[in-house]
Amino acid sequence: MNHILTIAAMVGGFFALIGPLVFMHELGHYVVGRLFGVHAEVFSIGMGRELFGWNDRRGTRWKVSALPIGGFVKFAGDMGAAGERDPAWHALSSEEQAKTIHGRPAWQRFLIVAAGPLTNFVVAIAIYAGFFAAYGVPLTPPVVGSVIQGSAADKGGLKQGDRIVSIDGRAIGTFDDIGLMMVIRPHADLHIALLRGGRELTVDLVSDTITQTDDAGNKVESGQLGIGPAGVAYSRGNMGDIARASLLAVRDRVRMITDIFGQILHGQRSARELGGPLRIAQFSGERVTLGFVPFIDLMALISINLGFLNLLPIPLLDGGHLFFYLAEMVRRRPLPRRTQEWAFRSGVALLLGFMVFVTANDLGSLGLWRKLSGLVG
């Protein structure tokens, strides 16, 4: 019975998490497209076979499809994922062509495509703004209030009263910034700049490693200095303070994502930590059981990830289209068709390979490979 409830929580959590984020992403494309007069033929949440849908008075088909792995807006004149121009486009009148995506200038197409991932960032900003409005803006100063004996901080010489200014050259504004940096830096060589009694000092140390093991036996490592704050401070603030804190929260999490990719590329972190839909479903189910706030916090982080990944210059993703449109604006003509076709095929191969890889990681996180190896053994 508990197993069934766990699966139900994972499935329900996944749909509750991904559905709104995909909808908002595609709504960004749709709204900006409409602002430029482009007709949307289809607005789909999910891929594959249509489950149900309806037509609005503008002739747009709104539908929910069987595979909950994404969504799309099909604008008039756009044949498919590669963004090819429909052959029938040339037979349209100039007025009708203007209502298609290929009938708009490159800069307008650029903004239509960019609106999707940018909307994901806006959603995350709105979520953090809601948190800060409800609970206050964290203002705990980055001052060491306590040092755990034998910890990395203790071995490195940090003392009570030290004010941490930067870690590895990255400015530290609040005590929360320290935790956000350390969570992805286990056993890392760190260069810490601090103020002690009005004097500027530097400390070099190696962070401690905390290892947590989930129910499937997967080990996740995070870093720790071994310090506590001198006190906790929050401010209700005004709308300006809340907006600024929300923007910084999104910026810091984008930095965290880029840091993780950098660590993977440099061999400092295992690529097995990359996850896909199944891992998201697992996390969603866990957060659903923890309550509304942890679940919404995960939604903000996933929304940032969706926005960031979609901006990567990979054909088939929004970032690939943006690259082509940017090249078109610079060259004052589109890239050669063969170049676009080659890039599109390469992008498909790359994304398919990535999906196979992260799905294998997801199945491992659910314990499948461990169970199979036990059966074979």
What is the structure's pLDDT at 168?
A: 92
Q: What residues act catalytically?
A: 26
22: domain range? Answer: 2-36+104-133+301-376
Residue at 21 is within a domain: yes
Single-letter code of the amino acid located at 107: W
C-beta separation of 229 from 221 below 8 A: no
281 belongs to a structural domain: no
Residue 81: predicted pLDDT: 46
Please check whether residue 83 lies inside any domain of the structure.
no
Domain shared by 7 and 127, yes or no: yes
Q: How far apart are alpha carbons 145 and 62 in whole angstroms?
A: 56
Decide which of 232, 254, 275 is a domain's last residue.
Answer: 232
202 and 128 fall within a common domain: no
Q: Are residues 163 and 224 in the same domain?
A: yes
pLDDT for the residue numbered 340: 80
Looking at 195, 214, 232, the residue that finishes a domain is 232
Which pLDDT value is given to residue 4?
60
Q: What CATH number has the domain bearing residue 162?
A: 2.30.42.10
What pTM was computed for the model? 0.83
Domain end among 232, 248, 267: 232
Site of tokens 């001198």:
230
For residues 154 and 128, state if they share a domain: no
Query: Is 60 in contact with 41 (CB distance < 8 Å)?
Result: yes
pLDDT tens over the chain, length 377 residues: 555 655 565 666 667 778 888 899 999 999 999 999 999 999 999 888 999 999 999 999 999 998 877 889 999 877 654 455 656 766 777 788 788 888 899 999 999 999 999 999 999 999 999 999 999 999 999 999 999 999 999 999 999 999 999 999 999 999 999 998 998 888 889 999 999 988 999 999 999 988 876 554 556 778 899 999 988 888 887 888 999 999 999 999 999 889 888 887 877 776 666 665 556 655 665 655 666 777 888 889 889 988 998 998 888 889 999 999 999 999 988 888 888 888 888 877 877 777 776 666 656 655 544 544 444 44
> For 367, left (φ over 0), alpha (ψ -120 to 50), or beta?
left
Same domain flag for 129 and 144? no
221 plus 328 within the same structural domain: no
The answer to whether residues 124 and 29 belong to one domain is yes
Q: What is the pLDDT of residue 184?
A: 86
Task: State the sign of the Cα–Cα–Cα–Cα dihedral 219, 220, 225, 231.
Answer: negative
Is residue 42 one of the residues assigned to a domain?
A: no
Report how many domains make up the chain: 2
Closest CA to 77 of 93, 88, 66: 88
Per-residue model confidence (pLDDT) at position 266: 78
> Phi/psi at 196 (nearest 5 deg)?
-135, 110
Q: Are residues 128 and 146 in the same domain?
A: no
In a domain, 311, yes or no: yes
Residue 308 belongs to what H/E stretch?
A: helix 292-310
What pLDDT score was predicted for residue 278?
A: 57
